[in-house]
Chain A
Amino acid sequence: MSMEPIVHRIKVALDVAPADPGLRARVISSLPLDRRQAHRARLAWAGPVAVVLAVAVVAGLISVGAFRARAPSYSGTVDVGDCRLPVYGTAKGPAQPGPGLYEEGFLNLSTGEFTPATPPSTVQTDQVVSPIGWFGANRGISYDPVVDQWLPVPLAWIAPDGLSYAYLTGSVAMNLRLRDLRTGSDRVLMEYRVTRLLGWVGERIYYVRGGGYEVELWEVDPKSGRDREVSAPSLKEWWLVGPGSVWGSAWYSGSLSRYDVATGTTDYWNIDRILDVIGIDSFGHPFVLQRPESSGSDPGPNEGYPTLMLAPNRVVTISPKGQLLPLQVTVIPDGDRTWFSAAGQRIWVYTTDKGLVFLDESANKSLPDGLAVAGGCV
């Protein structure tokens, strides 16, 4: 890729919130007339205020244990049982693997064998738009056990009853469509309005309209077709859905936004050194990647330490060995387990008592690398 397109995109990406025309006048008029006196006055206050603040902050952090990513004492491996894990990998044809062509099947955790789906399934992911897959290994392929079908969408786009799925068509202001898996019928829910489809929470579908400085979170009831804006336009970006909530980021380091669909309120979960939110567990807790402590100059390019947020200021480290995870990781909640997979890497499994461990170590089997998890174990 040449430099010009990305430089242009940086400009476009940042040029979303023009300065208030009155900013200059406001700034200059707010300056004190006597500049030396103002500096001395501020310095005089700075010492005592800093001491008071420091004491308050330390006391507060001690009392709530904020931002301390505590590592529970993990040991051993996860009992993975003998279920079959839906996975997919790049399809290998007689020549080169086709772009966007994947082969699906099941990984038998008791034998370690990969069994291709029957009948053979190769989902072509470019048939639908899966923008949520840009940043994850999951290109938008999921296994729906209710209808025993492989679907070309992320897991969150499949209805909780497993009988239909939402998807997008179009290129920019996209159409939101709903496909019924029992009848095969297909209908348009929204036309030319959707910039990002997040997925289902309960019986409603959540999506994003607008962008830049004016990101809006919307919900639609697929039964009635009625939709409504649930979060005022803002710079918050919304990225993921989880049980009872929609998750986003409040735009720069420091917090996640959580929209509670039951109460209609948004709260903020603070976490130090946040790199990104990568998924939500079955209980509604976000998995977050954190920068290494010494991230100032040369951290790993696109990886971080995985942590789980149990409450707005309560974080636990989930990796017993302190290993890093790539940003392009797919997180699949599956009851009290969560599966992590990334392109070209081994599969991880997380439980609260064992932490994040390699699946092949827990299964005590040599498993193929580079498979992405497409759903919960069946």
Chain B
Amino acid sequence: MLDDEAGLIERAKSGDRTAFDALVGPLIEPGYRFAFGMLHDREAAEDAVQEAAFKAWTRLENLRPGSSIRPWFFGIIANQCRSTRRTRWWTVVKLEAPRRIINSPEDQIVRGADLRRALRRLPVDRLEALVLHYYLDLTLEEVASVCRVPVGTVKSRIARGLEQLRPDADRITEAFG
């Protein structure tokens, strides 16, 4: 952990919101991407990040001295996403407003839809490890820190997740080359 980060954490603990912004602000966008990878829903992902930021702000004392803010904050988001996935059925469905089509390459869109479907079927711990490692480019050690499991367990989850995705990915390859 950088000295600057330690200082910012101390200032944030004393109630300095600017210091908290300097710490957590840069993690909001990757945190949102992580939450989206877990939930596949824009509003739910934003809500998860908002709630995680609130918990981080009000529970800074739980951050152990010498710990880095990033894995701790992502760990809170991970818990929030798990909670959201468990309780989603309870949520009132919101009406969706028409939105502009994003100019993504169409072949990627077509393949992406089915891979997302396959990702959604993964057990949450495997999905979490895959999203953190391959989508957010966290190291295995960082993923282990977020998930609070040994690095070996992370490797196993990633390997099993990829193994589970492989048949679907092969089918997509077969269909589109």
Spell out A's residues near B (CB within 8 Å).
1, 3, 5-7, 9-17, 19-20, 23-24, 26-28, 30-36, 38-39, 42, 57, 67, 129, 131, 134-135, 171-173, 195-196, 210-215, 232-235, 237, 249-255, 268, 270-272, 275-276, 291, 295-299, 301-302, 327-328
Contacts and interface: CB of A to CB of B under 8 A. Distances in A.
Given A6-B169, A16-B112, A19-B29, A253 B58 contact: no
A23 B29 contact: yes
Interface residues of B, number: 77
Given A1-B170, A212-B113, A16 B46 contact: no
Given A214-B102, A302-B121, A235 B40 contact: yes
Contacts of B41: 235, 250-252
B80 to A, nearest CB: 13
Interface in B111-125: 111-117, 119-121, 123-125
Contact of A301 (B20, B97, B115, B164): B164
Nearest to A232: B98
Contacts of B32: 19, 23
Given A253-B85, A297-B123, A14 B37 contact: yes
Contact of B50 (A3, A30, A129, A275): A30
Contacts of B85: 252-254
Interface stretch (B2-10, B128-136, B139-147): B128-136
B109 A195 contact: yes
Contacts of B28: 19, 23-24, 27-28
A13 B115 contact: yes
B110 interface: yes
Given A28-B21, A195-B109, A235-B40, A212 B104 contact: yes
B89 A233 contact: no
A255 B130 contact: no
Given A19-B29, A251-B40, A296-B125, A6 B113 contact: no
B111 A9 contact: yes
Interface of B: 15, 17, 20-21, 24-25, 28-29, 32-33, 36-37, 39-42, 44-46, 49-50, 53-54, 57-60, 85, 88-90, 93, 96-102, 104, 106-117, 119-121, 123-125, 130-131, 134-135, 160, 162-173, 175-176
Contacts of B29: 19, 23-24
Given A6-B162, A31-B54, A172-B176, 10 more contacts: A9-B172, A10-B130, A19-B28, A19-B32, A28-B21, A210-B109, A211-B106, A212-B102, A254-B85, A328-B167
Contact of A302 (B53, B164, B170): B164
B98 to A, nearest CB: 5
Nearest to A30: B50
B101 A233 contact: yes
Nearest to B52: A27
Contacts of A11: 134-135
A214 B101 contact: yes
Given A23-B32, A131-B110, A28 B20 contact: yes
B107 A172 contact: yes
A12 B171 contact: no
Contacts of A15: 135
A255 to B, nearest CB: 6
Nearest to A57: B90
Given A12-B112, A24-B25, A173-B106, A237 B117 contact: yes
A210 B103 CA distance: 10
Contacts of B125: 296-297
Contacts of A235: 40-42
A13 B111 contact: yes
Contacts of B15: 33-36
Contacts of B39: 251-252
Contacts of A298: 123, 160
A10 B58 CA distance: 34
A290 to B, nearest CB: 11
B110 A213 contact: no
B108 A12 contact: yes
A58 to B, nearest CB: 13
Contacts of A129: 175
A72 B113 CA distance: 36
A36 B58 contact: yes
